Chains A and B, each alone.
Chain A
Amino acid sequence: MAWWKSLTRKKIFWPLIALGVLMLFNLFFTPNFFRFEIKEGHLYGNVIDILKNGAPIMLLAVGLTLVIATKGIDISVGSIVAISAGVVAMLIGGDLHGVPKYPIPYAMAAALVVSVMCGMWNGMLVARIGMQPVIATLILLVAGRGIAMVTTNAMIVWLYAKPFALLGQGYLLGLPFSIFIVAGLVLMTVIITRRTALGLFIESVGINPTAARFTGINAKNLIFWVYTFCGFCAGVSGLVVCSTVMSADGNNAGVGYEMDAILAVVLGGTSMNGGKFYLVGSMVGALIVQTLTTTIYAFGVPPEIAQVVKALVVWIVSLLQSKTFRSMFLGMFGKKELSV
């Protein structure tokens, strides 16, 4: 039983179980859910859709994991997605023959610069001015949508520049290209935070900022850059969102994404109280959220009750995550040894 004990103590265990249960449900009850086909030289199927459509939330969850680890929150990421999408779309332009107004790499770089500036704005309010993170990022949540609307002149901009479609619709080695962007960003973040002391610094600021300051960590600077990084991640996510539908909709792009991304981080095992963070857990959390959405579509849950079904599953997964609940539940069967 020792291996079982050490397995269940791993933070990644419970999110993986939840994902597995969702997949099992689909295996038995949703016809053709796991069928793979080869279409035009790439893999095609519901599972591929989950990876592809989950990519924007996964990208957001990378930045948010670090923010939440510092005991902060960033609820403006959905609006930054809309701004990033708006900037890149306006710079590429809606030429019907697909001739970009500015070269596509420049347009993408400009969108990322604007997103990073949004992140810096949040970081400045939280770290320098000392606003509470929810309030500080609430400003950009509201104002950001206005900025996105102004950027796109309150119109939906349609893009016809084919090369830009690669980000959200393209394939590499038979898999969606966006998943490679996610993998790259996660790998980079894991290396930077785990191969250096940075991750430890972030966690210690989240657990006790005063103590962290006394040990010589510049907490204010650290928090500022973490929010800036979160803005960058939201910018990348915005590029993928824009490319997926080849259009930028200031009103609707990224609406509600902040909640899905926060949910992904929490499902992945990172506590809202800050401290220890689990990047890979957050990715699994994002996959749970996306699998749930795709399941609702594929299974054919009527739209009137879809939200209730979603809420129910999230509730169960959250209960599974809770140590107190698990020991209470197991306690009913007299297995007290797990409640350590």
Chain B
Amino acid sequence: MKNGKKVLVVLVALMVLFSAAAMAAPKTWTVGFSQIGTESEWRTADTQSVTSAIGDDPTLVLIYSDAQQKQENQIKAIRTFIARKVNVILFTALVETGYGPVLQEAAKAKIPVIMIDRDVQKADRALRLTIMGSDFVKEGEKAGTWLADYLKKQGMDDGSKPINIVELQGTTGSAPAIDRKTGFANIMKQHANWQITRSQTGNFTTSEGKAVMEAFLKADKTIQVLYAHNDGMALGAIQAIKEAGLKPGKDIIVIGVDSVKGAFQAIVDGEMNCTVECNPLLGPQAVQAINDLRAGKKLPAKIDTIEGVFDATNAAAALPTRQY
């Protein structure tokens, strides 16, 4: 009997404690997150960032759904979110079209939808609150701007002598490839002496990037700059440049996009010059947006990811903190 009493006392004490804690804590919000799948390293880092940022906030509860690259799974997941009356939906659209009806259902249930990284088609954009993610055109422009500054600092560009640039494009027809090309071309317009002498797809992969660069180097001995649409291809090309008996980073300026760990290492080693960040770590910004929303603040129509440009001046300091 004595023991039973003790247990009871402890239980009651615990219950009082817990209810006090519950009263002290602010009301929790439930967040539904519909991710498209795990097709790349970038996507894995993105998912981990968002889920762990929400997990770290004690006032947020996450319902996560992986669509495994199927649109019908995503529509089902969003319907479930609506039925469970979540407070906000985070959503990465697999394709642009076909989400109109389900977004309408969310709007009818007055659940705000925040797009992460990939948007829906124009006609359905009134149904979602905002889009958060990278601007690929801006990334291309940053690469171009960095090159202009660097050439000026090195005294290599007098405005008339041609600067020979080769380009390794991403997968033909993909949004990042088209936009990173466009962004770089925008900056090229301001420099009449810059010319792209060769441009070929390396499919965003290291091995194809290397093979294409090998062929470029044999056909053209005047290459001064390499602009690769991602770091993977740039790292492959660096190996090709070395095999050609040239010094990457010195004989040929190497620029990549993404800022993966390998690129930082290459910059520290002096074999690569610059990498423009394409940040998948959207979690903290997503949580910020949710909390702003909860506080009744109005969100902008587009939230740009905080993205930097890394070169020899800041890569070594940033390397230890890189997560992907």
Residues on the B chain within 8 Å of A293, using CB? 211
Query: Cβ of A216 < 8 Å from any Cβ of B?
Result: no
**0/1 per residue, B285-319, Cβ < 8 Å to A?**
00000000000000000000000000000000000
Which residues 148-198 of A have a CB within 8 angstroms of B?
Answer: 149, 154-156, 158, 169
Contact B218–A298 (Cβ < 8 Å) = yes
CA distance A156 to B206 in the complex (A): 10
Secondary structure type dominating chain B contacts: helix
The count of chain B contact residues (Cβ–Cβ below 8 Å) is 36
In-complex Cβ contact of A245 among B41, B169, B236, B261 (8 A) = B236
- Which residue of chain A is the closest to B209 with respect to CB atoms? A245
Q: Most chain-B Cβ atoms within 10 A of its Cβ — which of A30, A255, A300?
A: A300
CB distance from B239 to the nearest CB of A (A): 7
CB pair A169–B243 under 8 Å, yes or no, is: yes
Contacts of B39 in A (CB 8 A): 251
**Are A45 and B218 closer than 8 Å at their CB atoms?**
yes
A40 within 8 A of B: yes
Q: Is residue B121 within 8 Å, beta carbon to beta carbon, of the partner chain?
A: no
Knowing A44-B244, A303-B169 are in contact, say whether A241-B218 is a contact too (CB < 8 A): no
Known: A31-B219, A44-B244. A297 touches B211 (CB 8 A): yes
Question: Taking the nearest CB of chain B, how far is it from the CB of A258, in angstroms?
Answer: 16
Cβ proximity bits A25-36 to B, threshold 8 Å, 1 near / 0 not: 000001111010
A252, CB-defined interface residue at 8 Å: yes
User: Is A51 an interface residue, CB under 8 A from the partner?
Assistant: no
Tell me if A96 counts as interface (CB < 8 A to partner B): yes
Contacts of A271 in B (CB 8 A): none
Residue of A nearest to B38 (CB): A154
A155 touching B239 in the complex, CB below 8 Å, given contacts A45-B218, A247-B262, A253-B207: no
A49 touches B207 (CB 8 A): no
Question: Does A204 lie at the interface of the complex (its beta carbon under 8 Å from any beta carbon of B)?
Answer: no
A297 touches B207 (CB 8 A): no
Interface residues of B (CB under 8 A from A): 38-41, 44, 169, 172, 198-201, 203-207, 210-212, 214-216, 218-219, 232, 235-236, 239, 243-245, 260-262, 265, 324
